[in-house]
Each structure stands twice: as C-alpha cells, then as structure tokens.
C-alpha cells in the first residue's frame, strides 16, 4: 500500500509485495503499458498522426523519452520513472539503483511527481532485501500506475460538482489521460462534468511551442466524444471578453505550500485574463503534485528548453537563421488567481496553506 505518513509525506507501508502482473490489464486508457514483462510508453511526440509505442528496454530509453516529451505530464512522468527504476535494476542489478535514481531525477526539473515517485522508490529500496528489489519495484510501479488513475477518477468526481450546465470550459496544455497513468486531471474533471451533463464544450488552446493542446487534448477529447474547438493561445482574452468562457480548468506540475501553481507556459496569462473577466480558474492535481517543501512559486525550479522548439514548427524553421528564442516551459500562477485546487481529497480553497494541510491530514487518516 502507498500511505500518507504523519507529516503528509507519501510513504510506502512496510509490507512490500514482490507479486506483480506479467501483463498489467487495465480497464482504462493509459499511455503507459506493462505487457509480457516489458515496459512501453506511447510516443506522444508522434501524436496525433501516429500511435507508436516505445519499447523501454533500458534506462537510457526511459530517460530519453522523458526528456524529449515522448512521455510528459507530471503524473505520467512519475509513473514512467517508477518503471524506469525497475527496468534499470532488472538490467544492472540492485547496486545500480542509486545511479538510476540520479539519472532519472535529472531528466526534468519542474514536475515534482518525478521526485515524489523516485523518493518512494528509494524508500522501498532501503527497506527491501536486495534479492527482492527487482520484483518489488515492478509490483510497486504497477501499484502507482493503477492508483494514479484511481486518484484522477476521484479528482474528476470532486471537480464535476463545480460545473453548472452547458458550461464552456477553457483548458490549457494537456492534462488528460496522456499526461497521467490514466483518466487525467483537468481533462478528467472535464470528462466527469460532461458525463454528468454539466458541460457544453471545451476551448482547447494550442499551447505553443509544442502544441500539447492542439495535438494531444484534441486527440483525447475526440476519443471521448466531448465537443471542443481549437483556438490559438492568443485568443484567450478575446474569448473571455466576449463572455464565451464559463470556467477554466488546468493541471499542474508543482503546487507550492502557499498554493502558487507551476504549469505549462501560458497558464499564468489565462489566469490573469480569467481574473479580469470574473471567470473561475481551477487547478486539478493530485496531492502528489503538491510540494509542501517548496514554500512559494518563486522557489519552484522552472525548466527552460531548447530554442529550436520555439523557432521551428514541425521540423521547419520559422525564423531567420541564427534567431535565438527563450523557451520557458512553465510559468507560475500566484495562489490569489486560483479559485480552487481540485484534489482527490476534495476541493481546496484559500487560504491554501490551511486547506492543503487539511487535505494531507485527511489522506493520512
Ligand atoms: O511539458 P509538459 O507537456 O510535460 O507539461 C505538462 C503540463 O504542463 C501539464 O499541465 C501538467 O504536467 C499536469 S498533467 C496532469
């Protein structure tokens, strides 16, 4: 079992199992697969044109998939890293654990679910006999995989209560099943609201530079049969000024102790616009995305990525040669602009220090 410890840190219980499924059969869509004792990730860089699965036979392949966003989204990165530890130990033995932990930790800096999962894996490594470690890590990664989807279902159930009828919802980036082990956070809320008859349609912004909204969220909403329309990122102000947005719901890579939210670049802009136009701005995220050791948004490490991701589109240069772009991957939305944080432990509101502490306490009870 994965339990919340007394300080609210998620910890493994002492009774680790070494029993795992040779093929993990899931009744939900997941971008992560464990089949015939092999680990696969859906290559999200190729969507929506191609559905290709990467066979992750070694640690290097897993790290490369995380770095180049073949697997992306905070919870999905965490679960992929958990399987990555298992693959590394399977290939190179229990003594390779520390190096694998460090290598995975260095892949991406902002999504705290990566550190959360790796630290849980390290707890397990310290408590388990070395001879059992490989089986124990697989069993644990499978548990994380299933539990993440279950957590997201609960986020959806809580989140749908915030919706009225025929709501037009704006979401940014992709915080759907693809970004998690299953179901999604923001898109999970959208799906639950849709199934409850409370959602009219979804505005999907493109999410430059890598088009996670245009490529991935539209792909998911189409599969789910949820009405949606694509807009450019720069349309958000115009949409709101025309009263075409009733609510915003986004995911997060890390939420600081004070409720400041790091998420895909452009989230802050949407939140400022929502505030200006009186549109509720919700963040849907599991407790594993809340980092109580990071006091405020200013303390969250923000990833900067290659210039070419901005200056090129689909492999084609959009700028005169030599143009350098600053590619800030995430921004921070101050807590004061966040109407509510939707977690598996319910809907949290300001003051967030208190509501976050209460949510961790409920989870620990
Ligand atoms: O760079 P990405 O695609 O990994 O960024 C993803 C996001 O910003 C998501 O909104 C966030 O990770 C939450 S996913 C449930």
Q: What is the pLDDT of residue 15?
A: 61
Ligand 1 closest atom vs CA 180: 15
> Does 31 share its domain with 126?
yes
Report the half-sphere exposure of 56 (CA within 13 A, side-chain side).
31
Q: Is the CB of 111 under 6 A from ligand 1?
A: yes
Q: Which of 152, 173, 196 is the last residue of a domain?
A: 152
Q: Mean pLDDT by 10-residue block, N- to C-terminus, for the chain (365 residues)?
A: 36 70 96 98 98 98 98 98 98 98 98 98 97 97 97 98 97 98 98 98 98 98 98 98 98 98 98 98 98 98 98 93 97 98 98 98 96
99 in Cβ contact with 130 (< 8 Å) = no
Q: What is the pLDDT of residue 6?
A: 33
**How many independent structural domains does the chain possess?**
2
Q: What is the pLDDT of residue 124?
A: 97
Q: How far is CA 77 from CA 12, 42, 84, 191, in A?
A: 19, 12, 10, 22
Q: How far is the CA of 57 from the centre of ligand 1 (A)?
A: 25
> Does 146 share its domain with 190?
no
Q: Which of 95, 119, 152 is the last residue of a domain?
A: 152
> Does 190 share its domain with 324?
yes
Ligand 1 closest atom vs CA 113: 12
Secondary structure (3-state) at 75:
helix
Q: What is the pLDDT of residue 8?
A: 35
Q: Is the peptide bond before 221 cis (omega within 30 degrees of 0)?
A: no
- What CATH number is attached to the domain comprising 330? 3.40.50.10470
Q: What are the DSSP E strand ranges found in 157-260?
A: 167-171, 199-205, 228-231, 247-250, 254-256
> Does 122 share its domain with 132?
yes
> Does 223 share its domain with 182?
yes
What pTM does this model have?
A: 0.95
Rounded CA gap, 212 and 146, in Å? 24
Test site for ligand 1: of 188, 208, 214, 253, most ligand atoms within 8 A of the Cβ: 253
Residue 331 DSSP label: E
- Provide the domain limits for residue 349: 154-364
Residue nearest to atom 10 of ligand 1 (CA): 251
> Does 316 share its domain with 177?
yes
> Does 353 share its domain with 310?
yes
Active-site option among 43, 148, 253, 260: 253
> Does 8 share its domain with 25?
yes
Rounded CA gap, 16 and 128, in Å? 8
Residue 253 is among the residues annotated as catalytic for this protein: yes
């Amino acid at each position: 079992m994965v339990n919340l410890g007394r300080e609210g840190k998620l910890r493994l219980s002492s009774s680790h199992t070494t029993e795992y499924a040779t093929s993990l059969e899931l009744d939900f869509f997941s971008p992560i697969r464990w089949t015939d004792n092999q680990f696969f990730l859906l290559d999200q860089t190729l969507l929506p044109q191609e559905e290709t699965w990467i066979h992750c036979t070694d640690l290097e392949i897993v790290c490369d998939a995380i770095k180049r966003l073949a697997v992306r989204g905070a919870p999905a990165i965490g679960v992929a890293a958990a399987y990555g530890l298992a693959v590394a130990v399977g290939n190179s033995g229990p003594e390779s654990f520390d190096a694998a932990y460090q290598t995975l930790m260095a892949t991406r800096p902002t999504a705290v679910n990566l550190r959360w999962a790796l630290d849980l894996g390290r707890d397990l490594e310290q408590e388990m006999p070395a001879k059992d470690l490989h089986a124990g890590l697989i069993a644990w990664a499978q548990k994380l995989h299933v539990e993440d989807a279950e957590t997201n279902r609960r986020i959806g159930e809580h989140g749908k209560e915030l919706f009225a009828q025929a709501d037009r919802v704006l979401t940014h980036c992709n915080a759907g099943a693809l970004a998690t082990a299953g179901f999604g956070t923001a898109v999970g809320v959208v799906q639950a609201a849709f199934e409850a008859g409370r959602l009219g349609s979804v505005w999907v912004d493109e999410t430059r530079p890598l088009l996670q909204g245009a490529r991935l969220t539209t792909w998911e909403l189409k599969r789910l049969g949820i009405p949606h329309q694509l807009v450019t990122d720069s349309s958000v102000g115009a949409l709101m000024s025309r009263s075409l947005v009733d609510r915003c719901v986004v995911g997060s890579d890390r939420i600081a102790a004070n409720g400041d939210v790091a998420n895909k670049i452009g989230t802050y802009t949407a939140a400022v616009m929502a505030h200006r136009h009186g549109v509720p701005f919700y963040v849907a995220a599991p407790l594993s995305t809340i980092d109580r050791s990071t006091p405020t948004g200013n303390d969250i490490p923000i990833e900067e990525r290659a210039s070419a991701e901005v200056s090129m589109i689909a492999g084609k240069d959009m700028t005169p040669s030599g143009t350098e772009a600053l590619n800030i991957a995430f921004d921070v939305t101050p807590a004061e602009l966040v109407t509510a944080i939707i977690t598996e432990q319910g809907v949290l509101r300001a003051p967030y220090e208190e509501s976050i502490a209460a949510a961790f306490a409920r989870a620990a009870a």
